[in-house]
């Protein structure tokens, strides 16, 4: 009986997502055909680049990790029905504070076992506290978090410029705002082309799942999202819950930014936390909307979105099809998923 | 039969696996006030929503004045001069009464002949004895006035068949009598009324024909001299064994109980400042002993919500002393108060009582989520324990659900209330604070909930029973405190219960 229910749920999910993807790829194909390219070539490039070579696969994982954290940044505050548009800003803060602290501590010559965990915590705190500003403004002054988080994105962007151009950290040989490299004791390496932060990400996936589904805090966040008034009536502290939700979301985004610095670039680059020229924050929102804020499905959706992003880069290189065509199909996927879920599922957004 | 206005033939409607309407035949004569009576979930609202075009029937036909009609949307029903007033207000709160009535009924896309409409509305409201402030924003008006506006909106649209879905749910006694008067005028002016309710008392007062529904089927239609409380109860509940008193309420036996020597709850000079959410309270003092049910009688909006809430949420109190078992709770949070053995079932069961997207299990946990019993290492929720507790609630409170994982919004109102009530019993109770636990429920559920309150009292716990229905209070309470405009007007012992006297105090006369 229970197994049947689970199988039904999975089948229904596959049907919703499958049909949305098929429909979106159909629409994309029409555009590709109109632009005068070969449709079957384009589709196979889009969907298989990630799996055809180890380079393609490691590129996909490199994108999946920051995208996953950006997705969590939106998903967790969204569980209490608030929009955190500031995932990107929180990633930037996580990344640039990590870089600043890492460079400042370089002369101490701390071993990696101290340096790396320290910087991970610093990155998380930076992102978390930055998001907490929006949570605090909502809890105490009823400021709409959509507005505050969008505004804070600008602050974070300028803060990256400030750090990357400051004489303390700037790499004098670069024309672009870029800091010097962090000491090797602070950076993370690769295993077979895949960034080692993948292991950390897997741990975070498990922790987020446990937190949301099994802990008291997860229940309180869920309850506030289900019904604010009832949770207040039965003693849940709304202000504390919303601030915690924003802090956790922001901390995960900050961790994403921190890992970009420690594992991908090895330093702070103005314009990091972007893929194919667009912010991870935006893709994180898209991905979160696709999974309707379900923290369990987020890693799968983040991986699939990354497959499309890698495919998009490849399309541009090999067939000169602009990456924007793939952004288009991602947006269409989201819209179809939302529509189909509204029409046939149990709601969501 | 020339006098026949509406005839429904063989209407069937299923929702998933539930047969909401099973081969329903229903006839209304012109000029009737026709009661449609049944328990919650009997199919009354489904049938009316089909007439109003909100649902399409799976099978069956509808005839209006002998002509077959198809109603596939509310627009069709308006065209056929059928108007419906829903249980929950459908007015736009930010609009005035006038704007609400104009909405969807007047003018082309770009013209709004306001003056003309206003004149016609005023004429109508005078004609039917339904006066209301036409230029006031609806959000500032009471439920009773909103209902008048909705009725006028239907009549403005030319309705000559008016469906009222549970029109009395949010009305106080005096508003109900006003509504009765208006209904009489409607009939004189040639408007036929279908009056949906689950209260026998109301159909006896209002209707001249009554159709009883049960489990999606029409039981029978009774008219004129055949109308009687007993026959209606029999039709509504068939095999169920419910005894009913004169006012169509369940008879519940309240045995002698031993009252504790020390009070479980004591309020001394409690004041609550008035806010948008809370009516003020002034200098409230009373005691509740173990083994006692203290009722609070008040006309809605006189501070009865504040009394219920201040006991579980002392942060709204700004002066005075509150003691549970002799211990002050004035500085306690809601959860601290719960830890002292107090629990609460709020007035608005959908908006304040449940996590509507959550499962039955999650809802049972709410309010107990910080108790050691349900936590491991003070961090992880022991969902196994929660499941067991939920199963116990389902069993002991007869909640009709296949299991504890079902989404609570798929339950009926009565089963939701039983779950909320059951949640209060999950931990040992010294004092239960309950506000309107029976509103909108059918008589068998009311009886069930009363029996639970009496059971609690027999176990030596206290109950603070805040209720808008004085008849109900008089059945189960040991004492009744009367509240008017935030002040306590008197406390009556069971031997002194006098409906007339209490009623006068409730409206501020003495």
A111 versus B257: the higher-pLDDT residue is A111
Q: What is the pLDDT of residue A345?
A: 60
| Backbone CA torsion sign across A236, A237, A240, A241 | positive
> For B174-185, what is each residue's pLDDT tens digit?
778 888 888 888
Mutate to test the interface with A, among B380, B383, B434 (most CBs of A within 10 A): B380
How far from each other are the two terminal CA atoms of chain B, in whole angstroms?
Answer: 54
Q: Given a cut of 80, is residue B404 above it in pLDDT? A: yes
Q: Among partner residues B338, B355, B365, which is closest to A230 by beta-carbon distance?
A: B355
Q: What is the ipTM of this complex?
A: 0.86
B355/A233 CB distance under 8 A: no
The answer to whether the CB atoms of A235 and B383 lie below 8 A apart is: no
Burial A58-67 (b: 16+ CB within 10 A, else e): bbbbbbbbbb
Lowest mean pLDDT among A166-170, B40-44, B470-474: B40-44
- State both tokens at B30: 């012109």
pLDDT above 60: residue B204? yes
CB A149 within 8 A of CB A281: no
Chain A, residues 197-216, CB within 8 A of chain B, namely 210, 214-216
pLDDT at A348: 45
Residues of A in contact with B346 (CB under 8 A): 230, 233
For chains A and B, count residue pairs whose Cβ atoms are closer than 8 Å: 67
Give CA separation, B468 vs B39, B349, B482, in Å.
Answer: 20, 15, 11
CB atoms within 10 A of CB A191: 10
Task: Dump pLDDT digits (tens) for B229-238.
Answer: 777 877 776 6
- The 10s digit of each residue's pLDDT in B407-448 is 998 888 889 999 999 999 999 999 999 999 988 787 888 899
Nearest CA-CA distance, residue A179 and chain B, Å: 41
Nearest-by-Cβ selection for B355 from A218, A227, A235:
A227
Q: How many CA atoms lie within 13 A of A197 on its CB side?
A: 29
- Shortest CB distance from B381 goes to which of A214, A226, A227? A214
At CA A111, angle to CA A106 and CA A115, rounded to 5?
A: 65
Quickly state the pLDDT bin for B240 (edges 50, 70, 90). Answer: low
Three-class DSSP category at B506: helix
pLDDT over 90 percentage in chain B: 44
Positive or negative: CA dihedral B253, B255, B260, B261: positive
How would you write the pLDDT of chain A (349 residues) with one tens digit per residue? Answer: 456 777 887 788 788 888 888 988 999 899 899 988 999 999 999 999 999 999 999 999 999 999 999 999 999 999 999 999 999 999 999 999 999 999 999 999 899 999 999 999 999 999 999 999 999 999 999 999 999 999 999 999 999 999 999 999 999 988 889 999 999 999 999 998 899 999 999 999 999 999 999 999 999 999 999 999 999 999 999 999 999 999 999 999 999 999 999 999 999 999 898 888 789 999 999 999 988 878 888 999 999 999 999 999 999 899 898 888 888 888 888 888 888 887 776 544 4
Nearest CA in chain A to B310: A233
What integer pLDDT is reported at residue A349 of this predicted model? 45
Say yes or no for a CB contact (<8 Å) between A216 and B369: yes
Q: Which residues contact B446 (CB under 8 A, 6 or more apart)?
A: B249, B250, B438, B472
Residues from chain A that touch B379, judged by Cβ atoms under 8 A, are 215-216
Tell me the chain B residues in contact with residue A239 when contact means C-beta distances shorter than 8 Å: none
Q: For residue A210, which residues of chain B lie inside 8 Å, CB to CB?
A: 380
Tell me what the mean pLDDT of segment B260-278 comes to. Answer: 91
Which residues in chain A are closer than 8 Å to B375, comparing Cβ atoms?
216
Which among B453, B434, B461, B452 is positioned nearest to B290, based on CA atoms? B461
**pLDDT tens for each residue of B25-34:** 999 999 899 9
| Residue B114: predicted pLDDT | 79
Task: Please provide the DSSP assignment of A19-36 as one string.
Answer: HHHHHHHHHHHHHHHHTT
Question: Which of B353, B369, B383 is nearest residue A230 as measured by Cβ atoms?
Answer: B353
User: What pLDDT was estimated at residue A1?
Assistant: 47
Q: Is B135 within 8 Å of B122 (Cβ atoms)?
A: no
Inter-chain contact B334–A234, Cβ cutoff 8 Å?
A: yes
Encode burial over A241-264: b for 16+ CB neighbours within 10 A, e otherwise: bbbbbbbbbbbbbbbbbbbbbbbb
- Six-digit token pair at A214? 């099994």
Q: Name the band, by pLDDT with cuts 50, 70 and 90, for residue B272.
A: very high
H/E element holding B434? strand B431-435
Q: Is B174 helix (H, G, I), strand (E, B) or coil?
A: helix
Q: Which residue of A has its CA nearest to B353?
A: A230
Angle among Cα B334, B338, B344 to the nearest 5 degrees reads 85
Question: Considering only CA atoms, which of A195, A167, A171 is closest in space to residue A182?
Answer: A171
Cα separation of B30 and A114, whole Å? 87
pLDDT digits (tens, 9 = 90+) for B284-319: 999 999 999 999 998 777 889 999 999 999 999 999
Minimal-distance CA residue of chain B relative to A217: B379
Nearest to A219 among B334, B346, B365 (CB): B365
- DSSP assignment, residue B260? P
* Centroid of chain to Cα A77: 13
Judge contact between A100 and A163, C-beta under 8 A: yes
* Alpha helix segments (H runs only) across A275-347: 280-290, 298-319, 324-344
> What does the pLDDT read at residue B162?
92
Q: Hey, are the CB atoms on A223 and B344 less than 8 Å from each other? A: no
| Runs of H (alpha helix) within B346-430 | 360-365, 383-396, 413-424
- The string of pLDDT tens digits covering residues B336-395 is 999 999 999 999 888 999 999 899 999 999 999 999 999 999 999 999 999 999 999 999
């Amino acid at each position: 009986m229970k197994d049947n229910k689970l199988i039904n749920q999975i089948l229904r999910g596959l049907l919703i997502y499958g049909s949305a993807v098929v429909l979106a790829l159909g629409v994309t194909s029409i555009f590709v055909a109109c632009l005068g390219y070969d449709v079957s070539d384009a589709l196979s490039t889009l969907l298989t680049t990630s799996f055809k070579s180890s380079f393609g696969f490691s590129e996909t994982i490199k994108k999946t990790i920051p995208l996953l954290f950006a997705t969590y940044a939106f998903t967790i505050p969204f569980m209490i029905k608030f929009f955190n548009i500031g995932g990107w800003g929180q990633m930037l803060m996580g990344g640039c504070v990590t870089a600043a602290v890492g460079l400042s501590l370089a002369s101490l010559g701390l071993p990696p076992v101290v340096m790396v965990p320290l910087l991970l915590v610093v990155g998380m705190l930076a992102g978390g506290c930055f998001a907490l500003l929006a949570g605090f403004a909502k809890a105490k002054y009823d400021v709409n978090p959509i507005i505050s988080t969008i505004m804070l994105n600008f602050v974070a962007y300028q803060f990256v410029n400030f750090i990357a151009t400051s004489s303390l950290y700037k790499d004098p040989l670069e024309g672009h705002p870029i800091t010097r490299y962090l000491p090797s004791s602070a950076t993370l390496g690769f295993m077979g082309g895949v960034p080692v932060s993948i292991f950390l990400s897997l741990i975070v996936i498990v922790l987020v799942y446990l937190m949301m589904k099994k802990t008291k805090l997860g229940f309180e966040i869920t309850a506030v999202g289900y019904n604010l008034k009832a949770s207040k009536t039965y003693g849940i502290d709304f202000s504390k819950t919303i601030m915690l939700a924003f802090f956790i979301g922001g901390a995960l985004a900050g961790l994403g930014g921190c890992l970009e610095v420690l594992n991908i670039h090895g330093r702070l680059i103005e314009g990091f936390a972007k893929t194919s020229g667009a912010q991870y924050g935006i893709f994180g929102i898209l991905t979160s909307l696709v999974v309707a804020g379900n923290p369990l499905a987020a890693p799968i959706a983040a991986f699939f979105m990354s497959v499309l992003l890698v495919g998009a880069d490849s399309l541009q290189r090999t067939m000169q099809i602009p990456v924007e065509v793939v952004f288009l199909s991602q947006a269409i996927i989201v819209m179809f998923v939302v529509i189909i879920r509204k029409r046939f599922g149990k709601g969501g957004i | 039969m020339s006098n026949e206005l509406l005839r429904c033939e063989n209407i069937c409607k299923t929702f998933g696996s539930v047969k909401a309407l099973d081969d329903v035949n229903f006839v209304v004569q012109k000029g009737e006030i026709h009661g449609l009576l049944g328990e919650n979930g009997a199919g009354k609202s489904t049938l009316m929503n089909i007439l109003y075009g909100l649902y399409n029937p799976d099978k069956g036909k509808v005839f209006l004045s002998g002509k077959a009609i198809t109603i596939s949307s509310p627009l069709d029903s308006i065209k056929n001069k059928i108007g419906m007033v829903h249980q929950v207000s459908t007015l736009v709160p930010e609009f005035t009464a006038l704007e609400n009535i104009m909405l969807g009924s007047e003018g082309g896309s770009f013209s709004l002949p306001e003056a003309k409409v206003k004149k016609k509305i005023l004429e109508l409201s005078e004609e039917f004895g339904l006066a209301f402030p036409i230029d006031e924003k609806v959000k500032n008006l009471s439920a009773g006035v909103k209902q008048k506006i909705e009725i006028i909106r239907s009549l403005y649209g030319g309705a000559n068949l008016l469906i009222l879905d549970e029109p009395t749910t949010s009305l106080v006694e005096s508003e109900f009598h006003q509504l009765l008067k208006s209904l009489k005028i409607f009939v004189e002016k040639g408007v036929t009324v279908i009056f949906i309710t689950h209260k026998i008392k109301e159909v006896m007062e209002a209707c001249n024909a009554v159709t009883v529904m049960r489990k999606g089927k029409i039981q029978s239609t009774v008219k004129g001299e055949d109308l009687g409380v007993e026959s209606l109860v029999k039709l509504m509940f068939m095999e169920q064994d419910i005894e009913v008193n004169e006012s169509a309420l369940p008879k519940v036996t309240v045995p002698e109980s031993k009252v504790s020597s020390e009070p479980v709850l004591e309020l001394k000079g409690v004041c609550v400042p008035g806010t948008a959410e809370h009516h003020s309270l002034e200098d409230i003092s009373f005691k509740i002993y173990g083994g006692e049910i203290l009722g609070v009688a008040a006309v809605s909006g006189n501070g009865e919500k504040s009394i219920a809430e201040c006991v579980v949420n002392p942060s709204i109190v700004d002066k005075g002393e509150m003691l549970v078992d002799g211990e002050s709770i004035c500085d306690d949070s809601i959860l601290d108060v719960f830890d002292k053995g107090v629990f609460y079932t709020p007035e608005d069961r959908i908006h304040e009582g449940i996590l509507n997207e959550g499962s039955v299990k999650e809802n049972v946990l709410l309010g107990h989520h910080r108790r050691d019993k349900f936590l491991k290492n003070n961090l992880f929720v022991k969902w196994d324990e929660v499941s067991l507790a939920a199963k116990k609630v389902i069993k002991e409170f007869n909640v009709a659900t296949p299991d504890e994982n079902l989404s609570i919004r798929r339950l009926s109102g009565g089963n939701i209330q039983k779950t909320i009530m059951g949640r209060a019993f999950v931990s040992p109770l010294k004092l239960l604070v309950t506000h309107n636990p029976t509103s909108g429920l059918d008589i068998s559920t009311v009886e069930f909930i009363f029996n639970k309150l009496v059971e609690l009292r027999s176990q030596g716990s206290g109950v603070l029973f805040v209720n808008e229905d004085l008849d109900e209070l008089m059945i189960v309470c040991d004492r009744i405190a009367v509240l008017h405009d935030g002040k306590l007007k008197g406390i009556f012992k069971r031997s002194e219960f006098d409906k007339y006297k209490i009623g006068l105090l409730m409206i501020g006369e003495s």
